[in-house]
């Protein structure tokens, strides 16, 4: 097993003398134990690489690998004791995130099975469902689907068309797809393996409509054929993730028993009487969705890990590949010695560190809330907002970083054997699934506008415009890490490296963006009406959300540095943090200049500092990618062989 956790060593003679293992320890953060455990997962190797397989063979391999993963006991660990787990919510998420380094089809398939399918039974079901299905789901005896998205409605889940109509006579629900656009689509596990589906449908009882609820619907019979009334279609070939069997489900008056309703938040009595602990239909729906936040968090973490894998490949290539004669007339110049090449890779590397720290913090917060006895609804909404924001920013970071790494490796980066094509193709949909990034950032923006006081049903543009009109929006910056972190920040006459200056700049940007969105909404509503007012500020609102995420990511980085005890590691991380935040200030310098937040001279100083940091950190690039702690056997690229 020792080979498995063999972590790559940096290029010899890295001047900073930082042991990559100490960086790994800092990055592993609060979830070190789970991460170290995950690093021992070494599935069977195959001669044929996955990109040579046809769809069916690839799916079969991933399903087999899923069983190997289940056999480790890792995915079970996050579930409660009734399902045979240890109740380690955070650890259970982290082990699935870690699959993002290794095999993204497997990661997504695991996410569907444990995160979405079993996760929904655990969160939305009651004791009977847990007893009958959860343990089997968790042990992979029962494979399932999470059938939410429909052809007509993906982002707008409240408008789903599938119906679940209760008949008191027979004490059954009738599950039905009333229109072509009601068909469930892109459903993982549907095309090949799923036996049971958690189906989201509009619940109707004799006393009325109760909004979207989830029900357990068998979709295949014991011999693997579609269940009566269920039509299953295959989504076919995708850009990537071809080891996951996405499919479509159409229900033609499928009958399921009353007990099929996952009824933690909405119960139907035998006589058809509906009851719920939550009165508001909208709030009920968003409470249900909120319990599923884990999936979104895991996707963000897995995407970050895929970006790190890409960075290891591209940085190692850049430290080996030479091109054009060098200054001494001797050896040719290493790619990573070119400033333009450094600028392609090193700021992304720095941001990968930053996002990791934020992710670790998010998992911890989620773990605390999910294992707490009682949860403040505002804290829950803030968590959901942060999960949404970090998922959006992380997955876009991955899309951009994998692309930059591919280009930085030239022709070699285009060859399947160097993994970048697969990383690109597999992660491309991460910006879309588990919530489209734009829609998610809008959710974050709304939370900022309303200071998390509003219920989630107020998300739509009409309510947002009304809220801005009715309330004085005074965006308060609530720091997400302990106060001590800030009091210990370096400050003084360090120019653009002054940490307090950097942080204040980001805070000020967030505050100004939020307050001006509100003002524009107010004015616009009066002159152009609610929709136009919302639409006019939409890009501005997304900027505000983005600024908010940027700020909390920086705070997480600062907290990680603050908690770091080794001085040499700390020094290195301070530089990485500088490169991260100054690159972002450089990117947004148009805004800062426009709003007189920085002078032209200061703006040029920022650019100069980014250049200098690139030059400096290029010497630690090998150490920094080794610090990710990806086991050597997981790094799957000819050009990155140790």
Catalytic annotation, residues: 434
Nearest residue to 197 via CA among 157, 247, 242, 146: 146
Q: Which two tokens stand for residue 587?
A: 């990117």
Q: Is residue 105 close enough to count as binding its own copies by CB under 8 A?
A: no
Q: Pick from 68, 156, 207, 271: which binds its own copies (CB under 8 A)?
A: 156
Which runs of consecutive H residues, i.e. helices, occur in 4-153? 20-28, 32-38, 55-71, 89-98, 104-110, 119-124, 127-129, 135-138
Is residue 9 a contact residue for its own copies (CB under 8 A)? no
Q: Which of 17, 67, 128, 159 binds its own copies (CB under 8 A)?
A: 159
Interacting span for its own copies (CB under 8 A) from 105-113, 319-327, 349-357, 492-500 = 319-327
Q: How far is the CB of 330 from its own copies (least distance, A)?
A: 12
* Residue 69 found at the interface with its own copies (CB under 8 A): no
Does 431 participate in binding its own copies (rule CB under 8 A)? Answer: yes
Residue number with CB closer to its own copies (29 or 389): 389
Q: Does 309 bind its own copies (CB under 8 A)?
A: no
Each residue 558-597 as x (binds its own copies by CB under 8 A) or -, in order, gives ----------------------------x--xx--xxxx-
Q: Are 626 and 616 in contact (CB under 8 A)?
A: no
Give the count of beta carbons closer than 10 Å to the beta carbon of residue 529.
Answer: 13
Q: Cβ of residue 303: shortest distance to its own copies, in angstroms?
A: 14
Q: Is 415 in the site for its own copies (CB under 8 A)?
A: yes
Who contacts 293 (Cβ-Cβ below 8 Å, separation ≥6)?
366, 383, 384, 387
Nearer to its own copies, 13 or 601 (CB): 601
Q: Could you give the CA distance from residue 69 to residue 486 in angstroms, rounded to a whole number?
A: 41
β pairing state of 254-257 and 172-176:
antiparallel
323 lies in the site for its own copies, by CB under 8 A: yes
Structure tokens at 636: 């799957």
d(CA 171, CA 270): 6
Question: Should residue 616 be labelled a site residue for its own copies when binding is judged by CB under 8 A?
Answer: no
Least separation in angstroms between CB 615 and its own copies? 8
DSSP-derived secondary structure for 556-622:
HHHHHHHT---HHHHHHHHHHHHHHHHHHHHHTHHHHHHTTSS-HHHHHHHHHHHHHHHHHHHTTHH
Beta carbon nearer to its own copies, 218 or 347? 347
Return the exposure string of 12-25: e unless at least 16 CB atoms fall within 10 Å of the residue's CB, then b: eebebebbbebbbb
CB nearer to its own copies: give 471 or 516.
Answer: 516
What mask of x and - would describe binding to its own copies in positions 523 to 552, judged by CB under 8 A?
Answer: ------xxx---xx-xx--x----------
Which CB atom, from 231 or from 538, has the smaller least distance to its own copies? 538
How far apart CA 100 and CA 106 sit, in angstroms, is 8
Cα–Cα distance for residue pair 155/474, rounded to 1 Å: 29
Distance in angstroms (rounded) separating the CA atoms of residues 209 and 207: 7
| 489/593 with CB nearer its own copies | 593
Closest approach of Cβ 560 to its own copies, in Å?
Answer: 29
Member of 36, 130, 136, 153 binding its own copies (CB under 8 A)? 153
Identify residues 239-268 at the interface with its own copies (CB under 8 A).
239-240
Interaction pattern, residues 162-201, with its own copies; x per rule: CB under 8 A: -----------------------xx---------------
Instruction: Provide, rounded to whole angstroms, the least separation between the CB of residue 445 and its own copies.
Output: 11
Closer Cβ to its own copies, 228 or 495, answer by number: 495
Q: Which two tokens stand for residue 70?
A: 């289940």
Under the binding rule (CB under 8 A), the answer on residue 270 touching its own copies is no
Q: With binding defined as CB under 8 A, does residue 330 bind its own copies?
A: no
Q: Which of 233, 235, 319, 477 binds its own copies (CB under 8 A)?
A: 235
Looking at the DSSP assignment, which residues form a beta bridge with residue 198?
A: 146, 216
Q: How far is the CB of 112 from its own copies (least distance, A)?
A: 14
Q: How far is the CB of 3 from its own copies (least distance, A)?
A: 26
Examine residue 154 and tell whether it contacts its own copies (CB under 8 A): yes
The residue from 11, 231, 438, 633 that contacts its own copies (CB under 8 A) is 438
Interface mask (CB under 8 A) for its own copies, residues 375-414, using x and -?
A: ------------------------x---x--xx--xx-xx
Closest distance to its own copies from the beta carbon of 86 (Å): 34
Query: What distance in Å separates the CA atoms of residue 157 and residue 386, rounded to the nearest whole number?
Result: 20
Residue 209 engages its own copies in binding (rule: CB under 8 A) = no
Long-range contacts formed by 520-524: CB under 8 A, 24+ apart: 521/449, 521/464, 521/465, 521/468, 521/469, 522/468, 522/469, 524/465
By CB under 8 A, what part of segment 447-466 binds its own copies? 460-462
Question: Nearer to its own copies by C-beta: 240 or 301?
Answer: 240
Residue closer to its own copies, measured from CB, 24 or 399: 399
User: What is the C-alpha to C-alpha distance for residues 116 and 187, in angstroms, rounded to an integer?
Assistant: 11
Asked if 512 interacts with its own copies (CB under 8 A), we say no
Q: Which of residues 70-99 bind its own copies (CB under 8 A)?
A: none
Q: Which residue in 486, 452, 485 sits closest to 467, CA to CA?
A: 452
Quick one: which of 285, 287, 291 has its CA closest to 160?
Answer: 285
Using DSSP bridges, classify how beta strands 144-147 and 196-205 pair: parallel, antiparallel or unpaired: parallel
Ramachandran area for residue 9 (φ above 0: left; ψ -120 to 50: alpha; else beta):
beta
């Amino acid at each position: 097993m020792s080979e498995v956790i063999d972590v790559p060593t940096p290029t010899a003679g890295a001047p900073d003398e930082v042991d990559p293992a100490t960086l790994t320890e800092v990055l592993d953060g609060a979830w070190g134990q789970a991460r170290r455990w995950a690093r021992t997962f070494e599935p069977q190797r195959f001669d044929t690489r996955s990109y040579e397989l046809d769809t069916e063979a690839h799916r079969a391999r991933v399903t087999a690998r899923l069983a190997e993963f289940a056999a480790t006991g890792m995915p079970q660990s996050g579930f409660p004791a009734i399902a045979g787990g240890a109740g380690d919510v955070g650890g259970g998420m982290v082990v699935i995130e870690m699959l993002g380094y290794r095999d993204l089809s497997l990661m997504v398939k695991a996410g569907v099975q444990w995160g979405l399918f079993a996760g929904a039974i655990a969160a939305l079901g009651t004791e009977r469902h847990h007893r009958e299905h959860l343990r089997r789901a968790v042990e992979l005896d029962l494979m399932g689907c999470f059938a939410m998205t429909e052809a007509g409605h993906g982002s707008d889940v409240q408008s789903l068309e599938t119906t679940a109509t209760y008949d008191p006579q027979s004490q059954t629900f009738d599950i039905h797809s009333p229109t072509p656009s009601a068909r469930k689509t892109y459903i993982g596990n549907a095309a090949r393996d799923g036996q049971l589906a958690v189906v989201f449908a509009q619940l109707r009882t004799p006393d009325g409509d109760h909004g979207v609820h989830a029900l357990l619907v068998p979709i295949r019979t014991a011999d693997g054929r579609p269940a009566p009334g269920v039509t299953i279609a295959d989504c076919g070939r995708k850009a990537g993730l071809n080891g996951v069997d996405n499919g479509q489900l159409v229900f033609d008056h499928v009958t399921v028993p009353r007990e099929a309703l996952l009824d933690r938040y909405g119960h139907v009595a035998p006589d058809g009487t509906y009851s719920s602990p939550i009165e508001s239909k909208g709030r009920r729906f968003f409470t249900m969705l909120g319990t599923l936040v884990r999936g979104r968090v895991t996707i963000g973490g897995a995407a970050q890990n895929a970006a790190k894998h890409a960075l290891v490949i591209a940085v190692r290539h850049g430290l080996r590949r030479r091109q054009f004669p060098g200054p001494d007339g001797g050896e040719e110049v290493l790619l990573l010695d070119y400033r333009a090449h450094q600028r392609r890779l090193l700021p992304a590397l720095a941001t990968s560190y930053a996002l990791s720290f934020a992710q670790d913090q998010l998992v911890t917060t989620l773990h605390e809330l999910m294992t707490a006895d009682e949860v403040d609804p505002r804290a829950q909404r803030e968590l959901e907002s942060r999960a949404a924001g970090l998922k959006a920013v992380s997955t876009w970071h991955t899309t951009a970083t994998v692309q930059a790494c591919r280009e930085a490796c030239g022709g070699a980066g285009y060859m399947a054997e160097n993994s970048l094509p697969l990383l690109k193709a597999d992660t491309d949909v991460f910006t879309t699934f588990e919530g489209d990034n734009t829609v998610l950032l809008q959710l974050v923006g709304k939370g900022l506008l309303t200071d998390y006081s509003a219920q989630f049903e107020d998300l739509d543009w009409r309510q947002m415009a009304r809220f801005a009109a009715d309330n004085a929006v005074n965006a308060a910056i609530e720091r997400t890490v302990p106060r001590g972190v800030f009091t210990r920040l370096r400050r003084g006459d360090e120019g653009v490296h002054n940490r307090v200056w950097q942080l204040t700049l980001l805070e000020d940007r967030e505050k100004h963006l939020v307050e001006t969105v509100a003002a524009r909404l107010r004015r616009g509503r009066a002159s152009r009406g609610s929709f136009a007012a919302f639409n006019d500020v939409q890009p501005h609102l997304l900027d505000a959300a983005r600024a908010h995420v940027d700020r909390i990511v920086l705070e997480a980085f600062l907290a990680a540095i603050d908690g770091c005890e080794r001085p040499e590691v700390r020094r290195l991380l301070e530089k990485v943090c500088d490169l991260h935040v100054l690159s972002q200030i450089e990117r947004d310098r148009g805004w800062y200049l426009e709003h007189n937040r920085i002078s032209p001279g200061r703006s040029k100083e920022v650019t100069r500092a980014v250049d200098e940091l690139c030059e400096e950190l290029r010497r630690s690039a090998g150490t920094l990618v080794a610090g990710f702690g990806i086991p050597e056997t997981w790094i799957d690229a000819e050009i990155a062989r140790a």
